[in-house]
Amino acid sequence: MKKIPVVSFVGYSGSGKTTFLEKLIPELKARNIKVGIIKHHGHDIEIDTPGKDTWRHSRAGADAVAISTAKKVAVFRRVEAEMDLDHLARAMGDMDIVLTEGYKRGNKPKIEINRSAHTRSLITDPRELIAIVSDTNWEVGVPVFGLEDFSGVADFLWSRCGRDYT
């Protein structure tokens, strides 16, 4: 089984991680790259729709609930501890790359989103970074991309994590 490359997009809250990923995904898709996304959240949240059948089944005590349509499937499963990223990436199926939003304390390569209007420091130790997306020219030994350079980041990711990733 191939190892799926996982890259974490990190940054302070409000730095624009979600917005950047929303615009990066189409760039990767235009290159025929299968993209998975894992959003990390530090707190327990309700991910199902309260009152709907699957939510009611879960509330009744089911350990796992799946909902399936002709075009999508979702599985909600209770876990004792947070799953590791490699396990989650494999569970996503045949992806070429998995990007995460968050996991700033994780052990995966990181690209930090940084806006000078928001902060003047990095959230990540530069030794953990493979790139920075910013309106500041950071000089920490990794490539720095502009806040709107979605194509450049897509090219960078694919050159670093492409089909030959092992």
pLDDT digits (tens, 9 = 90+) for 15-30: 999 999 999 999 999 9
Read off the pLDDT of residues 80-133 as tens digits, 9 standing for 90 and up. 888 888 888 888 889 999 999 988 888 999 999 999 988 889 999 999 999 999
In angstroms, the CA 24 to CA 145 distance is 12
The reply to whether the predicted model has a pTM over 0.75 is: yes
- The alpha carbon of 102 is separated from its chain's Cα centroid by a whole number of angstroms, namely 7
Residue 166 confidence (pLDDT): 34
Q: How far is the C-alpha of 38 from the C-alpha of 76, rounded, in Å?
A: 14
Give the tens place of pLDDT for each residue, 2-60: 788 999 999 999 899 999 999 999 999 999 999 999 988 765 666 677 888 888 888 88
The residue count for the chain: 166
Q: Would you say residue 149 has pLDDT above 90? A: yes
pLDDT higher than threshold 70 for residue 163: no
Q: 55: buried, middle or exposed (CB in 10 Å: 19+, 13-18, 0-12)?
A: middle
Residue with tokens 């089984």: 1
Measured from the Cβ of residue 52, the count of other Cβ atoms closer than 10 Å reads: 11
Q: What CA–CA distance (Å, rounded) separates 138 from 94?
A: 35
Nearest to 118 by CA among 143, 145, 136, 139: 136
Q: What is the DSSP string of 44-60?
A: ----S-TTSHHHHHHHT
What superfamily in CATH does domain 6-45+80-161 come from?
P-loop containing nucleotide triphosphate hydrolases (3.40.50.300)
Spell out the alpha helix ranges (H) of 45-149.
Answer: 53-59, 85-91
